[in-house]
């Protein structure tokens, strides 16, 4: 008897899947190796969070769905999230499969690739092979290994040198089937001096039960490239959301992250910027709202290798009921990254005495000639501010609401697609209005 009976994914199915999807042999091999690794590796050790007590084993199995012609043919729960203005540059993953994708011809003509990862494996095999699981390694922990073995759907976005993509490319990841594995992999490569904005949205209509979303985002910003990445995670209580996002930024490149963690279930996210090149920079803005007895572990990280690299990380969390959030900010400056500058701020607003919030700023600095700073606070709604608003006739409830929204507003307003910004606002309202 081994303990492997409890292991969430079966080795033989992984192999069978690769064959069915006619993946290149190297990918099949990678999946095989990864499932073996996953069996040996442990879950990641998170700061003050027992992730092993979460529901992290409900992966379901790969279930293929046919593509649809129009957004209207998607399930209503998905189509209603997609405003008309994003239909032309959109990719939708429904459960295990990407079922809808579009890209304006003028962008395709410039060499921009925006497709699902499975298609990219066929059409742009070498390109995918050069980058897939290179920012995040399969062997980091059980979750990254499992993801490598079972990933499905996903996005491949490639922007050639010197191409500026003006319109934000949009993706929706939607699940409504507990039995279907949901593990999208997003791979973004912005070649030298290009720029692109990518925005995605995660949602479900699961009524009950439990499903794990094990997702990885890899971004490669080559020399002088600028990637703006915005993401709203809006899962209901059935989904355990485990997300790694990592960017590798070359000289003078830039990554901007804007993330809204609006899930109702347990959430682990780790958003990292690896500032590899000289003069590279990153900005990460993350908001989360914890409700009920939700547990959240939210990490932002910047690792400086390049000289004169700069990073800024801003996280804001609002916690109510008996929600728990561990907010980690890690600025790591490696030896040799002279004149690097890393800043971070974590602020947690507690709305209930039984909520728990921890802000853990960490500066790990191995170089002398750098500047780095951090600020962290955990507090309640400021009574003076409430009073001031009340002296103008605004009720206590309304004043509190305005202050909380104001706390999150500077990040919400950064979402580069108006319709998604509205959805993020709606999610905030839904989570705070109960």
Partner 1 sequence: MQMSKLLNFKIDKLKASIEGKEILKGIDLNIKGGEVHAIMGPNGTGKSTLASTLMGHPKFEVTSGEITLNGEDVLEMEVSERSRAGMFLAMQYPSEIPGVTNADFLRSAINAHRGEGNEISLIKFIRLMEKQMAALEMDPQFMHRYLNEGFSGGEKKRNEILQMMMMEPSLAILDEIDSGLDIDALKIVAAGVNAMRSEDRSFLIITHYQRLLNYVKPDFVHVMMQGRIVKSGGPELSERLEAEGYDWVKEELGIVDETVGIEKEEEFKIPMNTVAPKY
The site for partner 1 (CB under 8 A) is made up of 382-385, 387-396, 398-399, 402-403, 405-410
- Which residue, 57 or 398, has its beta carbon nearer to partner 1? 398
CB 112 within 8 Å of CB 163: yes
Q: How far is CA 75 from CA 94, 99, 239, 391, in A?
A: 9, 11, 18, 48
Tell which residue, 115, 121, 194, has the closest CA to residue 156: 115
Question: Which uninterrupted H or E stretch holds 37?
Answer: helix 25-40
- Which residue, 194 or 315, has its beta carbon nearer to partner 1? 315
Question: At closest approach, how far in Å is the CB of 331 from partner 1?
Answer: 23
Query: 402: left (phi > 0), else alpha (psi -120 to 50), else beta?
Result: alpha
- Which residue, 209 or 406, has its beta carbon nearer to partner 1? 406
CB 191 within 8 Å of CB 157: no
Q: What token pair was written down for 157?
A: 């976005």
- Which residue, 330 or 359, has its beta carbon nearer to partner 1? 359
Question: At closest approach, how far in Å is the CB of 292 from partner 1?
Answer: 24
Question: At closest approach, how far in Å is the CB of 391 from partner 1?
Answer: 5
- Which residue, 218 or 421, has its beta carbon nearer to partner 1? 421
- Which residue, 166 or 384, has its beta carbon nearer to partner 1? 384
Q: What token pair was written down for 214?
A: 């094990």
Tell me the sheet residues that pair with 192. none
- Which residue, 84 or 383, has its beta carbon nearer to partner 1? 383
Question: At closest approach, how far in Å is the CB of 406 from partner 1?
Answer: 3
- Which residue, 185 or 347, has its beta carbon nearer to partner 1? 347
- For the chain, how far is it from start to end, CA to CA, in angstroms? 47
Alpha carbon distance 259, 420 (integer Å)? 12
Question: Which uninterrupted H or E stretch holds 215?
Answer: strand 211-221
Tell which residue, 270, 263, 272, has the closest CA to residue 241: 263
What is the SS3 assignment for 39?
A: helix
Question: At closest approach, how far in Å is the CB of 349 from partner 1?
Answer: 11
Strands 211-221 and 155-159: unpaired
Question: At closest approach, how far in Å is the CB of 376 from partner 1?
Answer: 16
Alpha carbon distance 39, 37 (integer Å)? 5
């Amino acid at each position: 008897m081994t303990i492997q009976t409890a292991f969430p994914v079966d080795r033989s199915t992984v192999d069978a899947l690769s064959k069915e999807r006619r993946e290149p042999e190297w990918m099949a091999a990678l999946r095989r190796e990864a499932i073996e690794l996953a069996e040996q590796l442990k879950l990641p050790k998170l700061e003050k969070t027992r992730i092993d007590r979460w529901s992290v084993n409900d992966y379901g199995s790969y279930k293929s769905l046919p593509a649809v012609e129009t957004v209207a043919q998607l399930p209503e729960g998905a189509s209603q999230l997609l405003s008309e203005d994003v239909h032309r540059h959109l990719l939708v993953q429904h459960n295990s499969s990407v079922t809808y994708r579009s890209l304006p011809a003028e962008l395709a003509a410039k060499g921009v690739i925006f497709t699902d990862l499975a298609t990219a494996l066929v059409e742009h095999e070498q390109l995918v092979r050069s980058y897939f699981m290179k920012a995040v390694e399969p062997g980091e922990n059980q979750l990254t290994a499992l993801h490598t073995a079972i990933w499905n759907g996903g996005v491949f976005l490639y922007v050639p040198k010197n191409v500026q993509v003006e319109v934000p490319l949009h993706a929706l990841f939607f699940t409504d089937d507990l039995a279907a594995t949901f593990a999208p992999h997003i791979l973004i490569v912005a070649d030298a001096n290009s720029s692109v904005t990518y925005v995605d949205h995660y949602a479900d209509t699961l009524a009950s039960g439990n499903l794990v979303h094990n997702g990885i985002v890899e971004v490669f910003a080559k020399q002088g490239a600028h990637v703006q990445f915005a993401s709203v995670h809006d899962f209901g209580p059935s989904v355990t959301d485990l997300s790694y996002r990592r960017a590798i930024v070359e000289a003078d490149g830039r990554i901007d992250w804007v993330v809204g963690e609006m899930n109702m279930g347990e959430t682990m996210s780790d958003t990292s910027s690896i500032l590899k090149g000289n003069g590279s920079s990153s900005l990460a803005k993350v908001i989360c709202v914890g409700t009920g007895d939700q547990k959240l572990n939210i990490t932002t990280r910047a690792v400086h290798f390049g000289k004169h690299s700069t990073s800024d990380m801003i996280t804001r969390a609002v916690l109510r009921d008996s929600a728990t959030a561990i907010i980690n900010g890690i600025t790591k400056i490696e030896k040799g990254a002279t004149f690097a500058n890393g800043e971070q701020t974590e602020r947690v607003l507690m709305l209930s005495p039984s909520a728990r919030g921890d802000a853990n700023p960490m500066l790990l600095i191995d170089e002398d000639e750098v500047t780095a700073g951090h600020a962290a606070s955990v507090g309640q709604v400021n009574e003076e501010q409430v009073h001031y608003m009340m002296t103008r006739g605004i009720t206590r409830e309304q004043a509190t609401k305005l202050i909380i929204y104001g706390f999150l507003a500077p990040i919400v307003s950064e979402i580069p697609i108006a319709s998604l910004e509205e959805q993020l606002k709606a999610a905030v309202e839904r989570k705070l209005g109960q």
